[in-house]
Structure 1
């Protein structure tokens, strides 16, 4: 059997929009090998990237969402998907092994569906953040920046408008990400502000690895801000 297929398994899923049952690939937990992470948590894997399979897509109606959000919908939301997605959809499957371009297509479709349904900004931010990573993998700086900016917008709204505490990013991690993502798009004063919020949060001592990284990135952002001000002054 092909080694790439051996590290994948099939998960049975039922679409919450059209009730279609289908199978989609996932990476076996035992096969995940992370090599390193960037300062915004962007992971690099040896072999198959599990993030490529984080979105489920119904091949029949076109509904797409993160695995944890692929759950029961009310009748009004179903009608929205049927009208705005299914009506323009031609049946095709994303249930096999995915390459980077297919993963990007999957996450973009999930972003569209989630916008239609008005899901939480923290979820939209999670999708957008992964898209920025995917474009970094492709070395497309323009689109990486575009989705990084989207992510900042989503996470800022999530921080002020909802209680941020999902399975991946708690409040401390979100504060840190807002600092680091702002730094990456050249908004150094905003980055410093968010890093300050990170370090002054009472819970930071429970997240020692983030505290150390926030101090390190704060120093970098501070130097970049000084250079930026000097350049403007010159």
Structure 2
């Protein structure tokens, strides 16, 4: 794994202690990309390391939010309250197991929910968990994470102001549609994708996303036709 990862020391934005995190080296070989933007790499799964974890206090977040400059005083105080009186022993390992990665994601989700971070952020953590399970072929766990992610993205689009963390509302709708498609919920996938397909402005403003939605729409029609034949 040293070929793909390296360890760096970071200051935890909550407790202020120095902790270790794993970062990926740049030379990763891409094999393929799924409908929901899950990228498959040769010999390594970087989604295992997406959520950083303080080995001292247990605070967890992705790289963007695991930063003293990015965490507000309010969030830091709230996180300290959540951790008060708890002993979380999380020894650092440069090479994570699936179980360690999922634990990090679950802690990241816990803080995202308790600190009131956007549903879009919470959905992203759910997608990351799904991609970890996809790599280990734990299909039922993957499907559950995809469903939860899709529901969060859908709710986010209806209630939150985009762009969020660089993501547009159209992208969030597309990912929700792709997630529903992968779990076989073709009705919900159709609802999400049709909102993109019926908006001609997207064709102009984000041609690549429109084309992706169009291709997935065609795949969806074929899957629905197959399902109807079986019934």
Point out the structure with the larger helix share.
1
Gaps of 5+ in 2: none
Question: Which residue in 2 is equivalent to 1:46?
Answer: 42
Distance 1:7 1:145 in 2: 28
Please identify, of 171-180 and 92-101, the stretch whose mean Cα deviation from structure 2 is larger. 92-101
Kept after mapping to 1: 8 A contact 2:20/2:92: no
Please list the CA deviations of residues 39-58 of structure 1 after superposition, one character each: whole Å capped at 9, or x if unmatched: 11111111333322221111
Distance 1:9 1:208 in 2: 37
Kept after mapping to 2: 8 A contact 1:20/1:60: yes
Q: 1:1-234 to 2 correspondence within 5 Å? A: 4-29=1-26, 31-72=27-68, 73-74=71-72, 77-85=75-83, 87-94=85-92, 96-167=94-165, 169-201=167-199, 202-226=201-225, 228=227
Distance 1:219 1:93 in 2: 47
Kept after mapping to 2: 8 A contact 1:122/1:164: no
Kept after mapping to 1: 8 A contact 2:150/2:177: no
Secondary structure of the 2:156 match is helix
Kept after mapping to 2: 8 A contact 1:173/1:210: yes
Cα offset for 1:192? 1.3
Gaps of 5+ in 1: none
Distance 1:228 1:56 in 2: 41
Distance 1:77 1:213 in 2: 37
Please identify, of 116-125 and 186-195, the stretch whose mean Cα deviation from structure 2 is larger. 186-195
Q: How many residues align?
A: 228
* TM-score between both structures, scaled by the size of structure 1: 0.85
Cα offset for 1:167? 4.8
Secondary structure of the 1:146 match is helix
RMSD: 2.4
Kept after mapping to 2: 8 A contact 1:172/1:204: no
Cα offset for 1:195? 1.1
Distance 1:171 1:90 in 2: 36
Distance 2:198 2:17 in 1: 48
Distance 2:83 2:142 in 1: 25
Please list the CA deviations of residues 54-90 of structure 1 after superposition, one character each: whole Å capped at 9, or x if unmatched: 2111111100011112244455544543444453433
* TM-score between both structures, scaled by the size of structure 2: 0.86
